[in-house]
Chain A
Amino acid sequence: MTNTSPKHTEPLERTLYEQSVAGRRAITLPKADVPDAPLPDAQLRADNGLPELSESQIVRHYLRLSQMNFGVDSGFYPLGSCTMKHNPKINEQLARLPGFASIHPLQDAATVQGALEIMHGLQEALKEIGGFAAASLQPVAGAQGELTALLMIRACHADRGQAHRDRILVPDTAHGTNPASARMAGFLAVEIPSDARGNVDIDAVRAACDDRLAGIMLTNPNTLGLFEERIGDIVELVHAAGGFVYGDGANMNALTAVVRPGELGIDVMHFNLHKTFATPHGGGGPGSGPLGAGARLAEYLPGPVVEHDPAADPRYRFARPERSIGRMTAFHGNFGMLVRAFAYIRALGAAGLRTNAADAVLNANYLRGRLKSEYPVPFDRLCMHEFVSEGRPEGSSARAIDISKRLMDFGFHPPTNYFPLIVREALMIEPTETETKETLDAFAEAMLQIAAEARDAPEKLREAPHATPVSRLDEVKAARERIVTDRAARGSDGEIG
Chain B
Amino acid sequence: MGGKIGLKGTDGLADEAVRLGATPIAADRALASLKPLKALISGRRMERDLDWVTCSGAMGGDALRITSFESIEIVHQASSPTTVDDTVQAVQSFLEAGVDLILFCGGDGTARDIATATAKTVPILGIPSGVKMYSGVFGITPERVAKVVFAFLEGRVQAAEADLLDLDEERYRCGEWVIRPVGSALTPFEPTLTQTAKAFAVEASEAQAKAEIADDLRDQISACRDTVFLFGPGTTVQSVAEHVGVEKTLLGIDAFLNGRLVERDLNERAILRLLGDKKNAVLVLSPIGAQGFVLGRGNLQLSPEVIRRIGTGNIVVVATPAKLQRTPVLHFDTGDAALDRELGRNGYLSVVIGYHLRRMVPVG
Contact = CB atoms under 8 A, between A and B. Distances in A.
B361 interface: yes
Contacts of A188: 356-358
Contacts of B355: 183
B115 to A, nearest CB: 31
A179 B355 CA distance: 11
Interface in B332-364: 346-348, 350, 353, 355-362
Contacts of A187: 356
Contact of A208 (B353, B356, B360, B362): B360
Given A179-B357, A187-B356, A190-B360, A208 B350 contact: yes
Contact of A203 (B347, B357, B359): B347
A388 interface: no
A204 B360 contact: yes
Interface of A: 167, 172, 179, 182-183, 187-193, 201, 203-208
A201 B329 CA distance: 14
15 contacts: A172-B359, A183-B357, A188-B356, A191-B353, A193-B359, A201-B360, A203-B362, A204-B348, A204-B360, A205-B360, A206-B346, A207-B346, A207-B350, A208-B348, A208-B350
A207 B347 contact: yes
Contacts of B348: 203-204, 207-208
A191 B356 contact: no
A240 to B, nearest CB: 16
Given A190-B357, A190-B360, 12 more contacts: A172-B359, A189-B357, A190-B350, A190-B359, A191-B353, A191-B360, A192-B360, A201-B360, A201-B362, A203-B362, A207-B348, A208-B348
Interface residue tally on B, bucketed by range: 10 to 19
Contacts of A189: 356-358
Contacts of B356: 182-183, 187-189
A167 B350 CA distance: 12
Interface in B18-48: none
B360 A207 contact: yes
A192 B346 CA distance: 14
What are the 8 closest A-B residue pairs judged by CB atoms, nearest first? A207-B348, A207-B346, A204-B360, A191-B359, A190-B358, A188-B356, A189-B357, A204-B348
B358 A204 contact: no
Contacts of A172: 359
Is the contact region of chain B dominated by helix, strand, or loop, or is it mixed? strand
Contacts of B361: 193
A204 B328 CA distance: 13
A479 to B, nearest CB: 11
B328 to A, nearest CB: 8
A170 to B, nearest CB: 9
B320 to A, nearest CB: 13
A153 to B, nearest CB: 16
A204 B357 contact: no
Nearest to B363: A207
A193 B362 contact: yes
Contacts of A204: 348, 360, 362
A205 B347 CA distance: 11
Contacts of B360: 190-193, 201, 204-205, 207-208
Nearest to A189: B357
Contacts of A179: 357
A416 to B, nearest CB: 20
A191 B350 CA distance: 9
Contacts of A191: 353, 357-360
A203 B356 CA distance: 22
Contacts of A183: 355-357
A6 B245 CA distance: 55
**Residue in B347, B360, B361 with the greatest tally of chain A CB atoms within 10 Å:** B360
**Residue in A182, A183, A193 with the greatest tally of chain B CB atoms within 10 Å:** A193
Contacts of B359: 172, 190-193
A473 to B, nearest CB: 20
Nearest to A204: B360
A424 B353 CA distance: 20
Contacts of A208: 348, 350, 360
Nearest to A190: B358
Contacts of A190: 350, 357-360
Nearest to B328: A193
**Residue in A182, A204, A205 with the greatest tally of chain B CB atoms within 10 Å:** A204
Contacts of B357: 179, 183, 188-191
A187 B348 CA distance: 21
Nearest to A203: B347
A206 B345 CA distance: 12
A197 to B, nearest CB: 15
**Residue in A182, A183, A191, A192 with the greatest tally of chain B CB atoms within 10 Å:** A191
B213 to A, nearest CB: 13
Nearest to A192: B360
A274 B94 CA distance: 71
Contacts of A182: 356
